[in-house]
Structure 1
Amino acid sequence: MTFAAALTERTRRLQTRLCVGLDPRPGAYRDAAHLRAHTLDVLEVTAPFAACVKPQLAFFEALGLPGFALLEEVCAAARLLGLPVILDGKRGDIGSTAQAYAQGWLSGPHAGDALTVNPFLGFGTLTPFVEAARANGGAVFVLVKTSNPDQADLQGGGVSERVAAEVARLGAGEEGEYAGVGAVVGATHPRDLAAFRALMPRALLLLPGLGAQGGAAAELAPAFHPGGTGALASASRAVGYADGLDVTASREAARRLRDELNAALG
């Protein structure tokens, strides 16, 4: 089953549109063992309320080799829990370097089922990532309109719409309900969601910024198709650090956000 099909099946079966982000921040823990245990615990207790999980590569890379080992553990544990894995790496480069990134993060033991990718070196740089995703039944999420306030410096003036059109083109002709080329559109831009949904009718939309960055579940309905499929709202700090390192609070935060998203969709 492809990433898009597995994600959509889980969304419908569990009635959840929540993507749980994992951002293990070293300064929050006593030591590396504490960080590892908490990260895996958060993954386990939030899994029943999550459509997928999204490890942020930067935090794992910052830990060096132990971080890569933990990432492999996270990916393996997520798969045992039936959770598709989106690696948030925002990779993008040219030629053989792009091919190496695609090979490293879309195949192998620490690879995800999907990867966020950066198109701003040119649309041709997306090709190795799309090809690797298709070869492995995975997906890519192309940055279209990101959640940070200063995204407008480069993504305004019709640029995001042009990228969205390329996402739609790359996904055209793929089999299945949703294509393996999705898009990142910040949950912090609720007024733009309907327009991007129309521009990319078969793309899965990843909506980061729910919670700590100010995105609100009640405003995200325009990103979804009837029946509540086609999009994921992602929360990281609002779940993983809902009340310090209280894992019970993380579980309840995931439950609450799942319920808020469902309520928004009626």
Structure 2
Amino acid sequence: MTATPLPFQEQLRQRTLTYGTRLCLGLDPRLDAYRDVAHLREHTLDVLEACAGLVACVKPQLAFYEVLGPSGYPLLQEVCALARTLGLPVLLDGKRGDIGSTAQAYAQAWLSGPHAGSALTINAYLGWETLTPFVEVARAHGGGVFVLVRTSNPGSADLQQSGVAEKVAAQVAQLGQEEDGDLSCVGAVVGATHPEELEHFRALMPKATLLLPGLGAQGARASDLAPAFLPGGVGAVVSASRGIQYVQGLDVRASMEAARNFRNELNAALTT
């Protein structure tokens, strides 16, 4: 009899506690860095395998696979399959959000079938109803969603200030209250580049796992991120992409060292 997989947020928590890591490996393969797609594939998979023991999950950014055309989706499937073989939860960064049957199709595409049990980043710009298909499919398949609340890019202030981010956070919190347990399958994206706001958003979403992008190339510092975590150092994961995959060109050993350093810096931030 096949055991029921743990929900995504529980997989993440167990990996955090077992391996002592709060780091998310972003895999954003950029074609212009390689000789060809075969070279891109080899390096991307090598980085994943080298860093697997140092990270809590892996986050492929869908755009970098979509831009490869017909070769992109098979590569994404390989990345997901290798990650699962290595025991890594997969968080797909697609920022999807739409209405009705289109939202349902996106949810089924990325949170069921070959991606069952994965998580997906989503946005609520079209209204709260757009979240429902994603949340329902995630709950049905043991997956998770991360709603964009306060993103890491400099232009986020154009739309996310004046209480807008707080409104989205309130909806995330409400969805979380519908579930038993101390962590919901409905998480939130809160940029690590806004360290002064982390305590605020942590308090607004007490059951949400927070995805904190921006470590490394975007300038966020691990030492500033402790307020995002729940007691015991769980409930948040910090992503770095370029700062690991391309820290020294295509040097895989350098990528592994960068991941180790980020992991250690995050752990140190939680013990000071």
TM tier relative to shorter chain: over 0.9
1:112–1:41 Cα change, 3 Å: farther
Aligned residue number for residue 68 of structure 2: 63
Which of 44, 52, 73 in structure 2 is aligned with 1:47?
52
Give the total of aligned pairs.
Answer: 266
Report the alpha carbon displacement of residue 177 of structure 1 after superposing the two structures with TM: 2.8
Structure 2, gaps ≥5 residues long: 1-5
Matched letter for residue 79 of structure 1: R
SS in structure 2 at match of 1:182:
strand
Q: 1:119 aligns with which of 95, 115, 124?
A: 124
Pairing 1:129-140 to 2, within 5 Å after superposition: 129-140=134-145
Shift of 1:227: 1.2
Q: What residue identity is the alignment partner of 1:224?
A: F
Matches within 5 A, 1:1-266: 1-110=6-115, 113-266=118-271
Measured against aligned partners, the alpha-carbon deviations of 1:43-70 in whole angstroms (never above 9, x if no partner) come to 0001100000000000000001210000
For residue 262 of structure 2, give the secondary structure of its aligned residue in structure 1.
helix
Measure, in 1, the Cα distance between the counterparts of 2:105 and 2:86.
Answer: 29
**How far does residue 128 in structure 1 lie from its aligned partner after superposition?**
0.3
Q: Cα RMSD over matched residues?
A: 0.8
Deviation at 1:112, TM superposition (A): 6.3
Matched-pair contact (CA < 8 Å) for 2:116–2:142:
no
CA distance in 2, matches of 1:245, 1:44: 14
The alignment's TM-score, normalised by the length of structure 1, stands at: 0.99
Retained in 2: the 8 A contact 1:87–1:112? no
Q: Tell me by how many angstroms 1:110 deviates.
A: 4.9
* Higher deviation after alignment, 117-126 or 171-180: 171-180
**Aligned-pair distance for 1:84?**
0.3
Q: Report the secondary structure of 1:11's partner residue.
A: helix
Q: Following TM superposition, by how much is the alpha carbon of 1:155 offset from its aligned partner in structure 2, in angstroms?
A: 0.5
Q: Distance in 2 between matches of 1:111 and 1:37?
A: 25
- SS of alignment partner, residue 109 of structure 1: helix
Query: For structure 1, which runs of at least 5 residues remain unmatched after alignment?
Result: none
Rounded to whole Å, the distance in 2 between the matches of 1:97 and 1:76 is 26
| Fraction of identical pairs, as percent | 69
**Structure 1: distance between partners of 2:185 and 2:163:** 24
8 Å Cα contact 1:56/1:87 also seen in 2? yes
Within 2, Cα distance between the matches of 1:110 and 1:60? 15
